[in-house]
Structure 1
């Protein structure tokens, strides 16, 4: 099987997304996400403790229409914008950050169909995905040894193991990145769309982290998995438009962390207002009336509001960036990536700080397991380690001082 170089086609590619979300669209998907979050809230702690793959939760996403949000209407989707998708991720993260993560990665994997695939591939996969309400997981972790595509007749055999394959075990389709190991196309790095139940795929179920326990991020082993031309999305390269998957996922992280902070603050407020006494040295009647308590809430609320304003601005701008398609320049891509890196820095720190300090104003009883306030801290502490925030600070600082831009990768 010969892989055609699609660099020229990608440079001329048109984006299937254009314009911006209307207030009506944003309101619709916000209310949809809030309804899903309310359903998830009913047993969020119990599900977190059970730590099993969230098949029922993904079905809830499917029934809500959120899985089809960004698929263009012409191909059977809901025709929504990325701003709406990112806001939905944020809303879900206020209640259940694990399911918010699965949804965020699902959108990234749908985006990859456009970033790497031809117009024909996009239409074929989007129509199938929209009709069946597919959930997309992935096996693309770039710090893992690459999966191999071994030439086999008219196709390939997929071999190897990928750790941190978010959503793969509960998805209908898996986005897989793999390198051709031999033949005339040796060394080419391909993106594949592989169905969940393909023979030779084994889901190891070994995700057992402190937080994000229901994000279905376990390892996947591939042994002799047959790959045909129908499974190939396209070649992974460095053309600016095709690399927007990284700025998007970092932007999704910023919204995820913001949502966790908002959820922790709201849960803390609920606990504080329920306390009917005050510290014995305080002159206030209740903890909520104590100026020291009010000071902490005032600081955290103000910092969260600042992060929210930044996230809202960048979310809206992303729709304009992605609409450029193959006309997107490296300079415009880099400028947007730096904006998103700034959000990653402040959302990470505000998220961790809020989820930590909220215990200071809710008292020792809030540390009880049944209260569940720890869920926010465990989730933000786990996911904020995805890639070192210090390197994002360096990325922003080097650009500010010297105009430097980091080399394109699946982390920058």
Structure 2
């Protein structure tokens, strides 16, 4: 088809002193197992996930991407992606919360020089801070006005992940004088910041989403961490990788949901009855129709997973290229991530919906909690639709067009 593979060039990483990938995957698996034990009850209660954030913090997962020499975990993006996927299989909302934290807390390294980025990381490591917010474009943008000693932030962001539990907010705001968009870091405890838990979604209810209003909030120059302009004179190919890096987190969340619901349905089918309702038998595990549906869903999930692994390799290679990355190489990477998004979206929606048919009328029981997978996946895909992005894939394949710079919601 002529679409991207990983860009050629060096992929060797500098020597790390932090824990290895095996350690982080073990920590993620243990945390996911812990979250899975009460996932149904927690999701139905819909409380602000302070306890879940504590579980992530205790596992050390918040500082996974911070360089080891700065006191963090020293892990790479492929490891972070695997961790988010593992958590999402147990609880898609908490996977979204963690993925958002990784994207926002690390964004300074894509968008600014090392020294300001390192300054921002120090308190994050020391206090295991949780980051929330988002850089997606809004119809009514936040505004950033220049003042003698810095800037003033005003406006309202209607939805952002993690707001209700965040220790730091990272948001998109436009300069009043130039219209250029910037990434801005704000302490939510600052006077003039008002957070509302007014997002009444039917899924991803534990992602701590809400709206935030900024009323003349002072922002220092150091906390305006970088431009989000799509102008190629401003946005280098390496900085543009912010888009596929963030969107690939969404892919991992969706794949985790698909794998989580299939694993839970398999245990239900093998048991032959509901652990909550022993008198409710399930269909025979040898039922040809049941086997065919499972087979089809596994093919969808594994196909999306294989495409995602190609995208992860491409993004990792692009990050290793650094300033040597070209715009054409960036476009290839972005298109491959878009294809992974489309495949993961379909796998998650099909799996979470059709598993209900496999289980049958018993899946309507709130005690079983199968509906949470469908509600979470559907909510996530509504916020991160991919249908229009398929046009970008076609335009790139047919006309060689570069896809637009799009940040995840």
**TM-score w.r.t. structure 1 length?**
0.88
Q: Is the 8 A contact 1:141 1:162 kept in 2?
A: no
Residue 192 in 1 paired to residue 189 in 2?
Answer: no
Equivalent position to 1:370, from 363, 367, 371: 367
Choose which of 293, 296, 305 in structure 1 pairs with 2:293.
Answer: 296
Are the aligned partners of 1:188 and 1:235 in contact in 2 as well (CA < 8 Å)?
A: yes
Alignment check: 8 A CA contact 1:20 1:81 kept: no
State the secondary structure of the residue aligned to 1:53.
coil
Shift of 1:250: 1.4
CA positional deviation for 1:286: 5.6
Q: Does 1:64 align with 2:63?
A: no
* SS of equivalent residue, structure 2 residue 20: helix
1:123 aligns with 2:115: no
CA gap of 1:405–1:317, structure 2 versus 1, over 3 A, is closer
Instruction: Report the alpha carbon displacement of residue 276 of structure 1 after superposing the two structures with TM.
Output: 5.6
Give the alignment partner of residue 18 of structure 1, picking from 3, 8, 13: 13
* Distance in 2 of aligned mates of 1:27 and 1:222: 42
Q: What is aligned with 1:209?
A: 201
User: Counterpart of 2:270?
Assistant: 273
Moved over 6 A (4+): none
Q: CA deviation at 1:406?
A: 2.3
Provide the rounded CA distance (Å) in 1 between the counterparts of 2:68 and 2:149: 35
Q: Does 1:386 align with 2:383?
A: yes
Which of 130, 147, 150 is residue 142 of structure 2 equivalent to? 147
Query: Are 1:139 and 1:162, in contact at CA under 8 Å, matched by a contact in 2?
Result: no
Cα distance between partner residues in 1 of 2:385 and 2:273: 42
Is the Cα–Cα contact under 8 Å of residues 135 and 408 in structure 2 kept in the other structure? no
Q: Distance in 2 between matches of 1:30 and 1:373?
A: 25
Gapped runs of 5+ residues in structure 1? 1-16, 278-284
Contact 2:84 2:249 survives alignment (8 Å): yes
Residue 36 of structure 1 aligns with which residue? 31
Q: In the comparison of the two structures, how many residue pairs are matched? A: 386
1:364-403, Cα deviation, whole Å (9 max, x unpaired)? 1122111000011001111011233211221112222222
* CA pair 276-104 structure 1, distance change in 2 beyond 3 A: closer
* Alignment partners' CA distance in 1, 2:103 and 2:181: 18
1:69/1:77 contact within 8 Å kept: yes
Which residue matches 1:6? none
Q: Does 2:243 align with 1:251?
A: no
Matched, 1:334 2:331: yes
In 2, Cα distance between the equivalents of 1:345 and 1:41? 27
Cα RMSD over matched residues?
2.3
TM-score normalised by length of structure 2 = 0.89
Match of 1:232 among 218, 224, 242: 224
Distance 1:97 1:150, change over 3 A: same
Q: Who is 2:232 aligned against?
A: none
CA distance in 1, matches of 2:197, 2:156: 13
- Gapped regions of structure 2 (runs ≥ 5): 1-11, 230-234, 275-281
